[in-house]
Structure 1
């Protein structure tokens, strides 16, 4: 029998969650629950045509959207937020509804914290930003994050139907992005047994369902399980702090404009490898829920990435070898808390391996 932890803190953050196929039908009820009548719909350019079901559901309930802003951009650049803010004010919107992945959700958060408007999310990927009170914004190629309970969305509608057309490639990287949230939660400075349980269940659900989705994208059961896992992993990120993995990803994204979910996918096993000497218990918990790990968490992640057939090197997304030192300098300049002290030499080698696309290994 394992012993109970002697002490811990756990902060459960309030957010309504509506999960299941067809749950988008509950959107009007959530808008009316707050006494609102003019929702502003937010999305990225590629998602704007897919919002017609939202508009139809709202119109059927006699709710006319204030408008649609479909220019949400990766890494939430401040100039786009300012443009959307003006649009929200001009249209008289009284509530925000974001539809899409992390870009749309990030814009919704940025507007919500600036205006005080309630924010409802309808995720179409497994990214997970919708369950956190963290906002990352980019100014002059520098991405910074802040945390405030006012940033946390009011409600999240997880309708599995909206994930059915997510491509196998994007499903894989978006799902790995979600797994990264839970993995880092296992060794966070303020980790706790509740978050650990959520993390292990979320990782297990995604690690089992993502390979199925890559082979059979229309497998409804796998899609349901993946979205369930993504919600759990996102909840983990919403209750604990971030460490090296997220610091590197934020630096790659803000400085070089690297794609969000693909970067998280590439960095994850290498961040674990860097921290390996100091996170033996977290690695044990991770290995226990990864198929084919044979008790080795890093091996389990490497095998999973092979199954998902994802790109493994940031150079495949335009990162130059000369950028390695730029990222190393930026990441060491203002580091997040991390279980292993940030040392430039092993960190630079970690970054180089991410650039080159090598398999992660614990020899740093």
Structure 2
């Protein structure tokens, strides 16, 4: 057995109530005296509550957070960090908030303390992304990985059911892609498959009772594992496809990932071998991982296709062209070769609805 595994040195504090009882101590550990708080408008009241004990150490509040992190928003956050002479960025919110904080870290090398309120998982990665003129650029830089992450399941209790489902399946996408990512290895497999199982276990409970802190804890635990595994295993076909579509058409980030994931998995399964069976076991059906994923999507109300999350039929040709430019003909490492015709079929199928599953095929054969 031969492999290489690198881990990011991010401190994790996990537990119900942690954001209200541990945050000041974690700021102290980072020796921060000038804190810039980044949170979207909806999360800013929570951010103000959590940061209140920091008193005059808070030197700025930035709330111009948008999905896919437009360059203009990133530049505004960087400007505020410099004007206030901040020595720490405290982000409170979802993946777009974390992404905005990362944008500051990328150019100004400020440490980030992240308090996630969704299941994005990006707080555990060293991946950054910025969007300009309809094109999303991503990169990898260790400086953007948060120094500390405080996971508090209680902060996700107010997350609506549809957003909980989409955000949880976005984390699922990190886990699933980590199974075939270019840096996948036995260590990332352990984290990714444990994350899949935790998300599968927790998401139905969250949808049944949004105040179920145990279920919320399972999903947040899965999100932590998803980001950790993805950071080490690296990005592949799924994330490249979604980055292109999200940047070009401003689609809702989490829901788009949730919709595209089973289609990418269906494409990859013939080349995954034993990895497909292990993924299936984590999803609850060793023989049919795609079917298990589709059934989970149906159970928690994930939209059926990209047409349901804002991609117009008139944009399909352009969507196929853009994705093919990014991923086809050997542009990315992938367990199964992918060409333009494969991209065309995948994007159009993802626009139309759910992929066919083994159960569907068996039913058709029986008929």
When normalised by structure 1's length, the TM-score is: 0.94
Output one character per residue of 1:218-264: Cα deviation in whole Å (capped at 9) or x when no partner: 11111111111111111111111111100111011001001000001
* Residue 36 (1) aligns with residue 29 (2): no
**CA positional deviation for 1:85:** 1.2
Partner residue, 2:168 = 175
Partner residue, 1:307 = 299
Which protein has the bigger helix share? 2
**Number of equivalences:** 354
Structure 2 counterpart of 1:185, from 173, 178, 184: 178
Output one character per residue of 1:292-333: Cα deviation in whole Å (capped at 9) or x when no partner: x25210010011111111211111222111222212211121
Query: Contact conserved, 2:262 with 2:354, CA < 8 A, in 1?
Result: no
* Residue 114 (1) aligns with residue 107 (2): yes
Partner residue, 1:133 = 126
- Report 1:54-133 matches (<5 A): 54-59=50-55, 63-133=56-126
Partner residue, 2:364 = none
Write the distance in 2 (CA, Å) between the matches of 1:189 and 1:285.
18
Q: Secondary structure at the match of 1:10?
A: coil
Write the distance in 2 (CA, Å) between the matches of 1:152 and 1:281.
32
Q: Which moved more, 1:26-35 or 1:14-23?
A: 26-35
* Residue 11 (1) aligns with residue 19 (2): no
Write the distance in 2 (CA, Å) between the matches of 1:111 and 1:274.
37
**CA positional deviation for 1:46:** 1.6
**CA positional deviation for 1:9:** 0.8
- Report 1:1-364 matches (<5 A): 6-24=1-19, 25-59=21-55, 63-291=56-284, 293=285, 295-335=287-327, 336-361=332-357
**CA positional deviation for 1:87:** 1.4
Write the distance in 1 (CA, Å) between the matches of 2:122 and 2:57.
27
Write the distance in 2 (CA, Å) between the matches of 1:281 and 1:315.
33
Output one character per residue of 1:52-82: Cα deviation in whole Å (capped at 9) or x when no partner: 32122323xxx53111101111001101111
Write the distance in 2 (CA, Å) between the matches of 1:78 and 1:246.
20
Partner residue, 1:3 = none
**CA positional deviation for 1:287:** 0.5
**CA positional deviation for 1:271:** 0.3
Q: Secondary structure at the match of 1:136?
A: strand
**CA positional deviation for 1:343:** 1.1
Output one character per residue of 1:65-114: Cα deviation in whole Å (capped at 9) or x when no partner: 11110111100110111111111111221110001001100000010111
Write the distance in 2 (CA, Å) between the matches of 1:277 and 1:325.
26
Query: Contact conserved, 1:27 with 1:58, CA < 8 A, in 2?
Result: no
Write the distance in 2 (CA, Å) between the matches of 1:360 and 1:127.
27
Q: Secondary structure at the match of 2:342?
A: helix
Pick closer, same or farther for the CA change 1:334–1:138 going to 2, 3 Å. same
Q: Which moved more, 1:306-315 or 1:173-182?
A: 306-315
Write the distance in 2 (CA, Å) between the matches of 1:230 and 1:216.
19
**CA positional deviation for 1:361:** 4.4
Query: Contact conserved, 1:274 with 1:347, CA < 8 A, in 2?
Result: no
Q: Which moved more, 1:309-318 or 1:72-81?
A: 309-318
**CA positional deviation for 1:360:** 4.2
Q: Which moved more, 1:208-217 or 1:22-31?
A: 22-31
When normalised by structure 2's length, the TM-score is: 0.93
